[in-house]
Amino acid sequence: MTGQTLVKVGMADLNIAMEGAVLKTTGLGSCVGLTLFDPQSKVAGMAHVMLPSSEIARESQLNIAKYADTAIPELLGRMEAVGARLGRIEAKMAGGAQMFALGGSDTLRIGPRNVESCKVILQHYRIPILGMDTGGNYGRTVEFDSYKGILLIRSVQHGVKEI
């Protein structure tokens, strides 16, 4: 995906892209890189979700991009504002790894909980998930092409794959 405009999405960040621009985020360990795409309007969005729910937020100024339950509605709103329609939007996601060996504590299973939270919210909006590369114990970098709707996933351990 070279020669195209690159739109970077930082950690606990989200953004949209159109007209073939590529959304990119790095450093996905337990975080989830969630992409939304309207194939008709060619509007794409990406959120770098760090945590499953804003109910655990401790910051005085809530970062809505940080949490699955606030990032997804915000991303949908931004996409719809530039021509996407909810009934056409599709999702793909990557990340949600379990980066460290932990005991049985569910509170520390951030990666799997991030994936599950994203799935529940997408189901609420009736957004189909067309592809996923989640879990494992390794990091990922992802790029999403806003023209073709292709999610490119890179990892040191597993090379490059497209979904």
Taking only the tens place, the pLDDT of each residue in 42-85 is 999 999 999 999 988 787 888 999 999 999 999 999 999 999 99
pTM for this prediction: 0.91
Average pLDDT across the chain, whole number: 92
Contact criterion met (CB below 8 Å) for 85 and 38: yes
Q: From CA 18, how far away is CA 146, in angstroms rounded?
A: 6
Segments forming the whole domain that contains residue 108: 6-162
Phi–psi pair at 69, nearest 5 degrees? -70, -15
Q: Is residue 71 part of a domain?
A: yes
Q: Is residue 130 part of a domain?
A: yes
Residue 137, both tokens: 């114990």
What's the number of domains the chain is made of? 1
Closest by CA to 118, choosing from 101, 142, 95, is: 95
Better-predicted residue by pLDDT, 113 or 61? 113
User: What does the pLDDT read at residue 1?
Assistant: 47
Q: Is residue 131 part of a domain?
A: yes
Q: Is residue 1 part of a domain?
A: no
Contact criterion met (CB below 8 Å) for 48 and 31: yes
User: Annotated catalytic sites, by residue?
Assistant: 31
Residue 80, both tokens: 């719809």
User: Tell me, what CATH number does 91's domain have?
Assistant: 3.30.1330.200
